Amino acid sequence: MKIGIMGTGYVGLVHGAVLAGNGFQVTCMDVDADKIKRLTDGITPLYEPGLDELLERGIREGTLSFTTSAKEVIQSSDVIFIAVGTPAKDDGSANLAYVHEVAQAIGKYANGYKVVVSKSTVPVGTNRTIARYLDGALKSRHAPFRLDVASNPEFLRQGKAVGDSRSPSRVVIGTESEQAKRMLQAVYETHIREDVPFLYTNLETAEMIKYASNSFLAVKISFVNELALLSEKVGADIGDIAAGMGLDERISPHFLQAGPGYGGSCFPKDTQALVDIGRRNGEELHIVRAAMTANEKQKSRMVAKIAEQLSFDGTLKGKTIAVWGLSFKPETDDIRDAPSYAVINGLLSRGAAVKAYCPQGMKQAQRQWTELNGLVTYCESEADCAQNADAIVLMTEWEQFREISWDILAKSMRGNAFFDLRNMFAEHPRVRRLFRYYPVGSSELA
Ligand code: NAD
What is the distance, to the nearest Å, from the Cα of residue 437 to the centroid of all Cα atoms in its chain?
Answer: 29
pLDDT, mean over the chain = 97
Q: Is any ligand 1 atom within 6 A of the Cβ of residue 120? A: yes
For 94, 129, 255, the CA distances from 123, given in Å and listed in that order, are: 7, 11, 24
Q: Which atom of ligand 1 is nearest to the CA of 156?
A: 42
Cα–Cα distance for residue pair 327/334, rounded to 1 Å: 5
Say if residues 108 and 72 touch (Cβ distance below 8 Å). no
Q: Is any ligand 1 atom within 6 A of the Cβ of residue 369? A: no
Residue 15 CB neighbours (<10 A): 26
Per-domain boundaries in the chain: 2-201, 214-438
Of these residues, 266, 358, 379, 385, which one is catalytic?
266
Q: What is the pLDDT of residue 405?
A: 96
Cα–Cα distance for residue pair 392/197, rounded to 1 Å: 44
Q: What is the pLDDT of residue 194?
A: 83
Q: Closest Cα to atom 2, ligand 1: which residue?
A: 85
Q: What residues of the chain score a pLDDT lower than 50?
A: 446
Per CATH, 2-201 and 214-438 having the same topology is answered: yes
Q: Is any ligand 1 atom within 6 A of the Cβ of residue 48? A: no
How many angstroms does the Cα of residue 127 sit away from the middle of ligand 1? 16
Say if residues 376 and 355 touch (Cβ distance below 8 Å). yes
CATH classification code of 2-201: 3.40.50.720
CATH classification code of 214-438: 3.40.50.720
How many angstroms does the Cα of residue 18 sit away from the middle of ligand 1? 16
Q: Could you give the count of Cα atoms lying within 13 Å of 326 in the half-sphere of its Cβ?
A: 32
Q: Which atom of ligand 1 is nearest to the CA of 158?
A: 40
Dihedral over Cα of 86, 87, 88, 89: its sign = negative
List b or e across 294-313, with b for residues whose CB sees 16 or more CB atoms inside 10 angstroms.
bbebbbebbbebbbeebbee
Q: What is the pLDDT of residue 444?
A: 62
Q: What is the DSSP string of 341-369?
A: HHHHHHHHHTT-EEEEE-TTTHHHHHHH-
How many angstroms does the Cα of residue 119 sit away from the middle of ligand 1? 9
User: Does residue 266 have an active-site annotation?
Assistant: yes
Q: Which atom of ligand 1 is nearest to the CA of 11?
A: 26
Is the confidence metric ipTM above 0.90 for this complex?
Answer: yes
Condensed to tens digits (0 to 9), the pLDDT of residues 238-265 reads 999 999 999 999 999 999 999 999 999 9
Q: What is the pLDDT of residue 192?
A: 80
Q: What is the pLDDT of residue 349?
A: 98
pTM: 0.96
Condensed to tens digits (0 to 9), the pLDDT of residues 211-223 reads 999 999 999 999 9
